[in-house]
Structure 1
Amino acid sequence: MVTASLAIVAVYYLANPFGDHLATIVSHFGYSMLVYYFSSVVCLLLSRIILVKYPQFSSLPHTFLIPLIYGFALLVIKIVRPLADRFFSRVNNRHPVAEWCLSVLFIPLSLFFFFVQHFLTANNLGGNTAALLITLAYFILALLVMNHVGSDLHYRDQATFASHNLDSLTNYTDKLEVMYDDLRRFRHDYQNILISLSSALSDNHIAYAKQAIQELTQSSSRIVDMPTSVFEALQNITDLGVKSIVYQKLSDAIKDGLHPRLEVVRPLELTTTLQPLDAIRITAILLDNAINAAQVSKQKKVSLSLFENENAQFIIVGNSTKEAQVDLNKLAELEHSISIGNNHHLGLRNLKIILGHYPNAVNDRSSNQHWLEQKIVLPKK
């Protein structure tokens, strides 16, 4: 246990390029130890059972036991890998409680291995057979628990995803209804003012005509100046979840007095290269950081561009900055910060963790002339 704990600490601080949470690293170690102890118990018990029938080979297990354990462990890993990958892809850096709880599954097997080594005699065929069956049953039970918990958390994530989409869609629909009511009232006022203007000109009432023109100008300015054009490109975002989060964040930017810009020239589906939840999380983190930085800048500008070519998809988020040039090295350092006291720091670290699940993804930053731009490149293959 002490060795495993030291190894976990070493990996967390010295070999953690994507900034995985401690719970994630512990869960991977726990799974590795589970497979190791399972393989050790099975190989030891099988060798004992075989030696009872063939005592002339008593010297062989001592020579080949360790290679057999590691070879058997590799075979087990290959067989159960689909289940393990499915489980870890659902809980990694998302459900720390599940990771902590399931990371201790190896402890009962380690204690049982100690019992088999020191208290169960080699020539006890019945006891060794029973121990082997117990070991197999426990390992199968552990896999069933991982499968059940992984599936349950997956369905919970999907439910949260669906609820988020529904809330955002409701908000989006309400906003469209308000805009429609404003346009309907404007059309009604516009017609009345034109009638008044025409009547005033016919009667040569210049003062009244000027007043009508002034009212018309004010009413037109109120509609024309509405920041609705920024949302026109939303129709080219085909993922409802991504569309909802982009609408929500850009709406927040407008409320905060910023000047957002959205560019999506052609229909785009980010979920062809990203998991749906990851696409939402990446977009939300990038826009949150950009909005926070733009609020303290002079220009107060934020931009989001989504496009693709034959080989990759691109997410480009830019924002005006207070500094003429941001120190990109400091941003890189924040990605590895383990402090949770700053949401901006935490967002950068979470972004790095998410992108760590996509080995071919590229995260490129540039800063110049009070403008910071972050480009995410996601290969399609």
Structure 2
Amino acid sequence: MSFNYLMQTLFIFPFILLVYHQVSAITLKWYEYLIIISVFVFTDLSWFYFIFLEFAVLIAFSYLKDKTKPIALHFFYGLYPWVIDSLLRRFVLFYVLPIFGITDFRLFLENISVLALTELFIYIIYFIATYRLRFDFNVLIELVSTQTLRIRLLAIDIGMLVYFIAMEFFSGAEYYGHVDTLLIRQLLTIVYVIVFIGSLIYLNSAYKKHLEEELVKVRLSELNTLVTYTKQIEELYADIRAFRHDYANIISTLSEGIAHNDMDIIKKVYANVIKESGDILESSKYDFEGLAYIKDDALKSLIATKVFDAKKRGIDVQLDIPDTIDKPDNMALLDVIRLISILIDNAIEAALKAEHPQVMINIHEDDNDYIITVSNSTKEEKTPIAYLSGNGYTSKKTGEHGIGLVTIKRFQDQYPQLSVEATSGQYRVMQKVVLKG
């Protein structure tokens, strides 16, 4: 192993791992770094066709760290660092270094100063491009929730793989076979830079459009819920007005019974009217007072929609909001809405299969901590914790679930102050989310 190769590894491998961490948010242990770098070195010193191991090891670690993510994402995480390094390195060699009079590309392998200058340009260009494009790689998790964007991401994966193999093939043909492929590599580099950046910009804009559509849905849901909520209030007001009329008659009858000391009338009124009125007032129909404690209209709309929907589907819903609450200050409102929506949807879905469908929702603040607890009855005595995993619960078939799970996992990555706990037992599942203040 030459000194020049050692210097290359000191520059190149850290850049690969830095980009890998940035796009995947994976934190590696020291021995995992050692394993990955060992594979890199083994690949460089081995037969050319072992080159796939360079990105295969990154894909493997991504999969082992979080198996809930789609395969297309793991491939993206493994391929992206190598493709970016290849693109930037060749862009600097082909188009930047010649500005400084350096046209002999062999100097990159033989001259430490040229190597250091190349790597300096790579780091500068990468961080400037990353800052200017402002691409949030966390959105890739969300993008796979729609079929069209999932296909786009898969196409990008295939494109990266083809570029990487083609570029290494042409480089090997020139280095080992002495075939002049410089023009092909130059054209391939500039074309793929344009295509690749364009693809990332498209995905980013598509995700923003997706968020805008989600916001529109939330607003429409608010309007629809407002109509339903108003009707519910009108029905409750009508019940109260009728009860007030009946109450006046009850008082009149009781007064007459008391005046004549007629216990039969008093007992009859109690048995047939007062007791029955108490049963009516205890009905779950009057369990919406908690909504009045929610200050944020969007949050109130969401919870009201979910409660009304669950009741229509025959689920006994208990809403417990003991005091006035607003949306959390340290989490985006749309993320709060999506989080609560996933928790309640999962609870409703599981409760529908239970013998006695029931969902309980509790939201309160405790010492600046925002606490959301959603529990539900289940068909099974105990749901395996592997399904809960602190990421929500779903009973959908394999291949249909996971978006809710992955979304909550992304929230945990995005908001370090967010913790999710799930427990199961005695035919119930409880999901508790704590957002530290």
Q: Under a length normalisation based on structure 1, what TM-score does the superposition of the two structures give? A: 0.72
Return the alpha-carbon distance in structure 1 between the equivalents of residues 96 and 131 of structure 2: 29
CA separation of 1:347 and 1:205: change in aligned 2, threshold 3 A:
same
* C-alpha contact (below 8 Å) 1:193/1:215 kept by paired residues: no
Return the alpha-carbon distance in structure 2 between the equivalents of residues 259 and 337 of structure 1: 19
1:313-352 equivalent positions in 2, closer than 5 A: 313-319=370-376, 328=385, 331-332=388-389, 340-341=397-398, 348=405, 351-352=408-409
Q: Does 1:39 align with 2:96?
A: no
Alignment equivalent of 1:16, drawn from 50, 62, 66:
66
Question: Tell me, what secondary structure is at the counterpart of 2:331?
Answer: coil
* C-alpha contact (below 8 Å) 2:58/2:78 kept by paired residues: yes
* C-alpha contact (below 8 Å) 2:388/2:422 kept by paired residues: no
CA separation of 1:31 and 1:235: change in aligned 2, threshold 3 A:
farther
* C-alpha contact (below 8 Å) 1:291/1:319 kept by paired residues: yes
**Which structure's relative contact order is higher, taking Cα pairs within 8 Å and 6+ residues apart?**
1
Question: Tell me, what secondary structure is at the counterpart of 1:92?
Answer: helix
CA RMSD across the alignment: 4.8
CA separation of 1:109 and 1:68: change in aligned 2, threshold 3 A:
farther
Alignment equivalent of 1:246, drawn from 303, 316, 330:
303
Moved more, 161-170 or 87-96: 87-96
1:62 maps to amino acid: L
CA separation of 1:69 and 1:258: change in aligned 2, threshold 3 A:
farther
CA separation of 1:96 and 1:306: change in aligned 2, threshold 3 A:
same
Return the alpha-carbon distance in structure 1 between the equivalents of residues 115 and 295 of structure 2: 54
**1:220 corresponds to which residue?**
277
CA separation of 1:46 and 1:374: change in aligned 2, threshold 3 A:
same
Q: Under a length normalisation based on structure 2, what TM-score does the superposition of the two structures give? A: 0.64
Moved more, 357-366 or 111-120: 111-120
Q: Does 1:280 align with 2:327?
A: no
Question: Tell me, what secondary structure is at the counterpart of 1:376?
Answer: strand
Return the alpha-carbon distance in structure 2 between the equivalents of residues 307 and 86 of structure 1: 35
CA separation of 1:336 and 1:356: change in aligned 2, threshold 3 A:
farther
Moved more, 5-14 or 41-50: 5-14
* C-alpha contact (below 8 Å) 1:313/1:377 kept by paired residues: yes
2:363 maps to amino acid: L
Return the alpha-carbon distance in structure 2 between the equivalents of residues 261 and 248 of structure 1: 12
CA separation of 1:45 and 1:88: change in aligned 2, threshold 3 A:
same
Deviation at 1:21, TM superposition (A): 2.6
Alignment equivalent of 1:267, drawn from 307, 314, 325:
325
* C-alpha contact (below 8 Å) 1:303/1:318 kept by paired residues: yes
Deviation at 1:45, TM superposition (A): 0.5
Deviation at 1:50, TM superposition (A): 4.8
Return the alpha-carbon distance in structure 1 between the equivalents of residues 393 and 270 of structure 2: 60
Identity of aligned residues (%): 23
**1:79 corresponds to which residue?**
128
Residue-pair matches, total: 373
CA separation of 1:116 and 1:42: change in aligned 2, threshold 3 A:
farther
* C-alpha contact (below 8 Å) 2:349/2:395 kept by paired residues: no
* C-alpha contact (below 8 Å) 2:351/2:378 kept by paired residues: yes
Deviation at 1:247, TM superposition (A): 2.5
Q: Does 1:156 align with 2:213?
A: yes
Structure 1: segments with no counterpart, 5+ residues: none
2:149 maps to amino acid: A
